[in-house]
Each structure stands twice: as structure tokens, then as C-alpha cells.
Chains A and B, each alone.
Chain A
């Protein structure tokens, strides 16, 4: 990767711009879907579908003119003119489309109002809300696009020659993108919840607290869910772009030529795996992932087809106006009614889980998560308020509680250790008693690895005693280890030092509380390995003497 950073950035821009714009469009489309469902549920008389179409149209327009707007100086005359022209057209188209949705007569009425100059009548609540939603969507899309430029799509902004220490905001730009995605997500989730709230019951219950009644599915859930899926995909892309910009600025060469391809593959696998896991987890009335995807695609196709039909009808109607002016009958097509409203695709509901286990897991996950979040928030709160922490420390009751906890912890720990030791000793005693009574079969092998260093020392010493006993050098019942050692040393003088060392190690392990480490056990093992052949030699001597 020896190409110049600017060449790389240009290639990156060419590759990433269409993908990132598509993802932003899809995310915004999800928001539009939710908004239209909300409008439909709140105000069924309004043309939610037309509003959705207008919003999508504005969204496409915003994406299309972004580069052009970026080239203009903000608040310059050219910028104001360009933006003004955009919004005049948007407002006009929105107004005429909303009028036309009520029929050609409504459009003609509105046009006559327009001609007479009574503009106030044109600003209906539906139109104003549509414009406000359009403006919100415009601003939100602008924010996403600006952040993408800052992260790496805009080569000039990304690779400006400012000193590195002042340009440490590239990673924060990605963080801002994450924050923006999540913040929009919060609003979207709340809107989705509102779409499921049965407002009739809320309004009808005038006394006391309003009665909340939730319907099962509104169709907006698909929008919320897919918004997050596309949002995660955008985050992944943004992360790659921010890292590449960072590496370009610091002139760090990327040795793996296929990094973006691999990144895309990993992201795809990651998101699919996540979607699969999420769809497998118990969530009550679950939504199928592909069914949700189908819902969004269906919504987009329906709205766009409807919108194109509407625009075509509107254009033809405008073309027919000169015929009316000259007293001629316009072609029949013009008089046709606006196309039928698109039907919102319904999310196919999966069968609710009736399994009690799933219900239990779901409850545990839900309430466990809530409790964890509360505990985490509480800890964070206490940590953020140092004075509170200090006051708690100073407080006698808290102090006493802390001391009591420490005392309890220490005692429990001590008791646990004693109990473990007692059980181990008891087990050893039982085993040895059973072994001496031949109640248990004598084990063929002892696994040295399972013994601790102290017991390993015992093992090697007892091995020496046993082997020496086999050679006729049995340990007397009254002999201390030291006495027995001197007896052995006389019999096998060639390993005098080793016998002494092994006996010393045994005495230390058996009668002292000193810690016996692995090194000591290894040393004893090495000593025993020197003693063993010497004892074997003793056997040969005995045999030759017998002969």
C-alpha cells in the first residue's frame, strides 16, 4: 500500500459513499415507516401514506444534493438561494400532493385559493406537520451525512494538514455518529411504543390516571428493529472509515490489501449471527427477522409506486388546466380519481411462546437486566459523587456495616478453608483405615500430579522406607526418621548425603508448618531417584553374598 494518502482517500470515497448513503437512506426510511404508522394510528383521517412518500422523496433529494450543498459556504447568498429553492419546491409539491390525495376537486379548490391569494387556507395542520417532519428528517439526514464526511468521506476534511494533536476528534466523530444513531433510536423506540398505545382508552378514561392498553403489533416495530440493524451496519462502516483516515493521517501503511473486503465479510457475519441469536432468544411475541425485512421492502415499494402514480396524476392534471382555460374537455385520464391508498404491509406475527421455560428465561433476562442496570447506575452515581462516598465512609453506621462485612467475609473464608481441610483430612483417614482393613482394594497407581508438594515429599520418603524394607533395612517401630536415616546411611554409604537430605525434607514437611513449594518437591524427587539405584545395588550385593 504505497499509494499516496490522498489517492487512497479518493478511492475510499468512491467505494464508501454509495454504501453509506444507502444505509442512511434505509435508516431514515425506517423512521419514516414508524412515523407514518404513528400518524395513521393517531389521526386516521390524514394521508399518512402520502406524508411518508413526501418524506422519502425529501430524503432522496437531501442525499442527492448533499455534495452540492457542501461546496457552498453556509449562509452565503448562493447557499440561501439553493436551499430556499429546494424548500419552495418541497413545500409546493407537498401541498399539491396532499390536496390531490383528496381528489381533483380539492386540488382545484386549493389552486383557486392560491390564485386569490388566500394563502392562509393552504396551511392546514396536515401540511404543517408534514413540513415539520420533513424539516426534522432533513436535519437528521444532514447530521448523519456531515458526520460521515468528517469521519472520512470528505477527503479534504479528513486529511487536512492540521497537527495531529489538534485533530484528535476523528474517533470522537465516530462516537458522535454512534450517539446520534442511539439517540435517534431512543426517539424511534418511544414513537414505536406510542403506535401500540391504544389512545382511545387513554382518552376515554377521564378520571384518575389514564388507562394504558397496549395492542399487540402496530407494524412500526419492523421500522425500529431494522433501524438498529442498519444503524449497526453504518457504525461498522463508519468505524472502518475513521480508522483508515486515522492511519492515513499518521502515515501508517496498511499491509493487508484486502482489509475492507475482510471487514465487510466480518461485519456481515457478525450482524447475521447477531440477528440469528436474537431471533432465537425468547422475547414474547417475536418478530421474524426476514418477515420484518420484507415489511420494510414492501412498505418502500408500495409508497414509491403510489407516490409516482400520484405525481403522474398531478402532472397530467396540471397539463389539463390549459384545456379547461380554453373551454375544451380535457382528456379522460385527467379526470380520474387519485390512485388508491397503499395498504401497509402487516408484519406476520410468529406464534407466541407458550413454553414455560421460555417465559422464565425471558423474565430472568428482563428483570436481571433491569436490576443490573439499576445496580450499575447506583454504583456510577456513588462514584460520581465523591462527597457522598466520603460521607458514607465517615458515617458510623456505614463504617460499622463495612467492618461487619469484612469480619463476616474473613470468618466465612476461614471457615471455608478449615472445612475443606477437615473434609480432606477426614477423607484421607477413612481411605487409609479402609485400606489397612483391606475394605478397599489397594490402588495400583498414585497420581503424583494430584498430590500437593508436601504430600509428594511424604510419598518419596515412604517410597524410600518401603524399598529399604524390601532390602532388609526395615524401619524399626521405635526409630525416629533421623535414627533410621543414620541406620540407612551406614548400609548404603554411597548415597549418604541424599538419604540425609530426603530425611530432612520429610521432617520439614511432616513436622513444620513451613510452606513446601514445588521446587522442594522436585528436589526430593531428584534425591530419591539417586537413592533408588543405590538401594537396587544393595539387592545385588545381598544376592551375591547369599550365593
Chain B
């Protein structure tokens, strides 16, 4: 309320009391009426304004996302002015956010369409939308309402991989394997003559009857690649000069591998030690291995959201979680540095029947001794310094 409003009212009331009403009372009606009706109008206008924001909550890198903002006046009272200010993340639109001023007549509505560009993976708030209005006399301060932010998930970059050599010991999957140890009875490869020691279960009775000699089925060896991608986002484990790029590269590697595994109809899970803004405690949820596109989207969403964290080494998490993974599961650890404790944990996993593959993302900051130890324990180590290296690794794998 204006500073001199109360003194004016006081003077008018005193005069009205002395003069028994008349013009002073008329002035009181006028001044108080202006204040009260202005106040009621602006409050009412604010309560009858409805805003709605529509957009696709998920986007891949480089996509343009159209955001549709619908503002409606649901009442008969016009809204003389309405200031809309949307707060948008700088990573998507630059310094300018969406803002506009409109006027809404009785039951009037207004549509706005603007777009943002998914330039970087992440979990971005779209909003909050600040809506301000006020009375036409300016006797009261503007009223403000806030429409809460909604979130946009920008998936990480996926580099399409055609072939990868990932170790696995899980029998009877869908991936062909060279070791006869993993023969799949569902994949008949051919037939051969019976030799002593062959199991009677492998005898092909129809073929034996037609040839007159015992024939046994030869099965194609196959493996099931049950994989868990373990992403280390502990900031100290990445070389400090290229930390941000290396962490992003690690996420890209994890997403690309997850995509490749899902495309090959294998099971893949995810374990991350970063910070997830969606979780109450900030710890990302471990996603157990599953097949299918839905699983891939779950993984990508987590990978989109997670951010690096300080003072959260990977080894304890691996120690805690690896017992929940099945025998024969391949652990693909994507990290910036291989430290002794981690190597030791991977060795324990190997001893427990799981496989391990260590991928060093970005500039290598590992100790020579640790790497040598990894080789000694039979843990394959691959260093990927850039996205180009990821393609080279794929080519190498396909040749092998």
C-alpha cells in the first residue's frame, strides 16, 4: 500500500467524523474503493489464470524441442497485463530466456511456441515460469505466481558400434562363440557319426534310422552376454586438466556399449557412483541387467542425469553390488583411472566367476604398477582417449 494512503484515509475519516459524512465520506469511498477494487481485481485475475506447458520430456543430442505454452484466463474478469518469464537452462538456449507480456480478455487465451536445442546431455529444468500481474493503478505491488519447472532429459551421445569383443563365460546365449564348452542344444550345427562316450541324448534317431548308423547332433557353441556397465564418476579418478571432457567421454562409452549390447538382444545393467538429481539421496539407482529397448531407455535416462561426484571411490560400491550380479556376468568398468583397490575388486570378481573388462576413458592417469597388475590378473584393459578411439577399438574388435 502506498505510504501516504493511510494518512490520507485518517484525515478523511477525521473530517468525515467532524463534518458528519458528506464530501469526505464520498472521498473515502472513492479512494478506498479504488484500492480495494484494484486489489480484488488483481488477486482475482491471478487466481483465474491457468498456464500449461507441453513438450517432449526426452530428446537425443542435437534435437530441437518445441515447447508449447498455453496461458488461459478462465474467468470473466479481464487481466490487464500479464508478464511471463520462463527460466531456461543456459546449456539449451543461451542467455535469453523466454519472456513476454500479454493482456487477456474475459476467457481469453494465448499460445506461445518456442524451442530449445539439446546441445549437451543432462537433466534440465524447463521453468519455473514466473507469472506477474497487478492492478491498473499500481497502488499495490505486483502479484507473482510460479508455475513449477518440468524436466527435460537429453540423452548422451551414442556412437553406433558394429562389433565388440567382450569376454563372457555364460553358456547358452545368442552370441556365437568359438569355445566348444558353451554348446547350445537349441542350435544344431550338423551331425556326425557316434563315437564312444557320446551321450545318448545327442543321438539323432531319425537320421540314424535313415542312414542305418548312429548319428549324433553337433551343436553350435554360444554364449549369453550378461553385462553390467560400471561407470565411475568419481571426479578424482579423472585427469584434472581434462576432467569434464573425460567424464563426458566415459558416459558416451557407457551409452554406446549399452546400445550395442541391447541391439544384440543381450542383458545389460548399470551401476554408477555419481550424483543423480532425481534421487532423494543423490545416489543413482543400480539397474540390474535386463534385455530390451525399455531397459536401454532406462539406462540412457540414468546416464543422461548423472553427474560427477567427489570423494566417492568406485571399489566399495563394486564390492557391495557385485554379489547381486549373476555368475558369468561381464563387468565393464568405465573409469578414468585404475587404482589398486579397483583392480583387486575386479580380480575377486573374476575369481567369483564373473568377467571383467576395464576401459580407461580420457587421458590415462593410472599407475603403471596398477595396469601391470591388471594384466597379470587377466583383466583386459582398453584406453579410449577420444570418441575416435572408440571407433578404432570397435574395428580392432571386429578384426579379432
Does B116 lie at the interface of the complex (its beta carbon under 8 Å from any beta carbon of A)? no
The stretch from B96-104, B209-217, B269-277, B298-306 touching chain A is B96-104
Q: Is the beta-carbon distance between B136 and A212 smaller than 8 angstroms? A: no
Q: Is the beta-carbon distance between B26 and A283 smaller than 8 angstroms? A: yes
Q: Is the beta-carbon distance between B5 and A193 smaller than 8 angstroms? A: no
Does A256 lie at the interface of the complex (its beta carbon under 8 Å from any beta carbon of B)? yes
Residue on A with the closest CB to B4? A182
Contact with A along B1-25 (1 / 0, CB 8 A): 0111111111111011111111111
Measured as residues with beta carbon below 8 angstroms from the partner, the interface class of chain B is 35 or more
Does B191 lie at the interface of the complex (its beta carbon under 8 Å from any beta carbon of A)? no
Interface centre among B2, B11, B32, B135 (most CB of A within 10 A): B2
Contact partner of A193 among B3, B15, B29, B78, CB < 8 A? B15
Does B203 lie at the interface of the complex (its beta carbon under 8 Å from any beta carbon of A)? no
Q: Is the beta-carbon distance between A186 and B2 smaller than 8 angstroms? A: no
Interface centre among A174, A214, A221, A239 (most CB of B within 10 A): A239
Q: Is the beta-carbon distance between B33 and A278 smaller than 8 angstroms? A: yes
Q: List 30 A-B contacts (CB under 8 A).
A: A174-B138, A178-B2, A186-B4, A186-B7, A190-B15, A212-B18, A214-B18, A214-B19, A224-B23, A228-B30, A229-B30, A235-B138, A236-B137, A238-B138, A247-B83, A252-B100, A253-B101, A254-B100, A255-B101, A259-B103, A262-B103, A263-B136, A266-B80, A270-B41, A274-B33, A274-B34, A275-B30, A283-B26, A366-B16, A370-B13
Q: How many A-B residue pairs have CB under 8 A?
A: 169
The docked-state distance in angstroms from the alpha carbon of A247 to that of B85 is 11
The stretch from A112-120, A128-136, A284-292, A523-531 touching chain B is A284-292
Q: Is the beta-carbon distance between A373 and B10 smaller than 8 angstroms? A: yes
Chain B residues closer than 8 Å to A245, beta-carbon distance: none
Does B164 lie at the interface of the complex (its beta carbon under 8 Å from any beta carbon of A)? no
Does B56 lie at the interface of the complex (its beta carbon under 8 Å from any beta carbon of A)? no
Chain B residues closer than 8 Å to A212, beta-carbon distance: 18
Does B59 lie at the interface of the complex (its beta carbon under 8 Å from any beta carbon of A)? no
**Known: A263-B80, A284-B21. Contact between A255 and B33, CB under 8 A?**
no
Measured as residues with beta carbon below 8 angstroms from the partner, the interface class of chain A is 35 or more
Does A311 lie at the interface of the complex (its beta carbon under 8 Å from any beta carbon of B)? no
The docked-state distance in angstroms from the alpha carbon of A189 to that of B23 is 9
The docked-state distance in angstroms from the alpha carbon of A143 to that of B389 is 73
Q: Is the beta-carbon distance between B3 and A179 smaller than 8 angstroms? A: yes
**Known: A228-B30, A267-B136, A281-B29. Contact between A192 and B23, CB under 8 A?**
yes
Does B158 lie at the interface of the complex (its beta carbon under 8 Å from any beta carbon of A)? no
Chain A residues closer than 8 Å to B136, beta-carbon distance: 236, 239-240, 263, 266-267, 270
Contact with B along A195-217 (1 / 0, CB 8 A): 01000000000000000101010
Q: Is the beta-carbon distance between A255 and B100 smaller than 8 angstroms? A: yes
Q: Is the beta-carbon distance between B25 and A366 smaller than 8 angstroms? A: yes
**Known: A186-B4, A221-B23, A255-B102. Contact between A178 and B139, CB under 8 A?**
yes
Contact with B along A359-383 (1 / 0, CB 8 A): 0001001100110010001000000
Q: 5 closest pairs, A vs B, by CB?
A: A284-B21, A239-B138, A182-B4, A221-B23, A283-B25
Q: Is the beta-carbon distance between B83 and A182 smaller than 8 angstroms? A: no
Q: Which chain B residues numbered 187 to 227 have a C-beta less than 8 Å away from chain A?
A: none
**Known: A179-B3, A370-B17. Contact between A189 and B12, CB under 8 A?**
yes
Does A507 lie at the interface of the complex (its beta carbon under 8 Å from any beta carbon of B)? no
Interface centre among B102, B103, B137 (most CB of A within 10 A): B137
The docked-state distance in angstroms from the alpha carbon of A224 to that of B6 is 18
Interface residues of A (CB under 8 A from B): 171, 174-175, 178-179, 182-183, 185-186, 189-190, 192-193, 196, 212, 214, 216, 221, 224-225, 228-229, 232, 235-236, 238-240, 242-243, 247, 250, 252-256, 258-259, 262-263, 266-267, 270, 273-275, 277-278, 281-287, 362, 365-366, 369-370, 373, 377
The docked-state distance in angstroms from the alpha carbon of A190 to that of B19 is 12
Chain B residues closer than 8 Å to A277, beta-carbon distance: 29, 33
Chain B residues closer than 8 Å to A174, beta-carbon distance: 138
Contact partner of B85 among A192, A252, A259, CB < 8 A? A252
Does B37 lie at the interface of the complex (its beta carbon under 8 Å from any beta carbon of A)? yes
**Known: A178-B138, A193-B19, A259-B101. Contact between A232 and B34, CB under 8 A?**
yes
Residue on B with the closest CB to A275? B30
Q: Is the beta-carbon distance between B101 and A247 smaller than 8 angstroms? A: yes
The docked-state distance in angstroms from the alpha carbon of A240 to that of B78 is 16
Does B27 lie at the interface of the complex (its beta carbon under 8 Å from any beta carbon of A)? yes
User: What is the minimal beta-carbon distance from B87 to any residue of chain A, in angstroms?
Assistant: 14
Chain B residues closer than 8 Å to A267, beta-carbon distance: 136
Chain A residues closer than 8 Å to B13, beta-carbon distance: 366, 369-370, 373
Residue on A with the closest CB to B78? A266
Chain A residues closer than 8 Å to B8, beta-carbon distance: 182-183, 185-186, 189
The docked-state distance in angstroms from the alpha carbon of A224 to that of B101 is 36
Q: Is the beta-carbon distance between B137 and A228 smaller than 8 angstroms? A: no
Q: Is the beta-carbon distance between A284 and B100 smaller than 8 angstroms? A: no
Q: Is the beta-carbon distance between A239 and B30 smaller than 8 angstroms? A: no
Does B110 lie at the interface of the complex (its beta carbon under 8 Å from any beta carbon of A)? yes
Does B381 lie at the interface of the complex (its beta carbon under 8 Å from any beta carbon of A)? no
The docked-state distance in angstroms from the alpha carbon of A380 to that of B2 is 15
Contact with A along B44-69 (1 / 0, CB 8 A): 00000000000000000000000000
User: What is the minimal beta-carbon distance from A460 to any residue of chain B, in angstroms?
Assistant: 37
Q: Is the beta-carbon distance between B11 and A186 smaller than 8 angstroms? A: yes
Chain A residues closer than 8 Å to B81, beta-carbon distance: 243, 259, 263
Q: Is the beta-carbon distance between B101 and A362 smaller than 8 angstroms? A: no
User: What is the minimal beta-carbon distance from A95 to any residue of chain B, in angstroms?
Assistant: 35
User: What is the minimal beta-carbon distance from A233 to any residue of chain B, in angstroms?
Assistant: 9
Q: Is the beta-carbon distance between A224 and B85 smaller than 8 angstroms? A: no
Residue on A with the closest CB to B99? A252
Chain A residues closer than 8 Å to B263, beta-carbon distance: none
Chain A residues closer than 8 Å to B110, beta-carbon distance: 255
Chain B residues closer than 8 Å to A238, beta-carbon distance: 138
Residue on B with the closest CB to A243? B81
- Beyond contacts A253-B99, A277-B29: 8 other A-B pairs, Cβ-Cβ < 8 A, are A171-B138, A182-B2, A221-B23, A238-B138, A256-B101, A259-B101, A266-B80, A362-B25
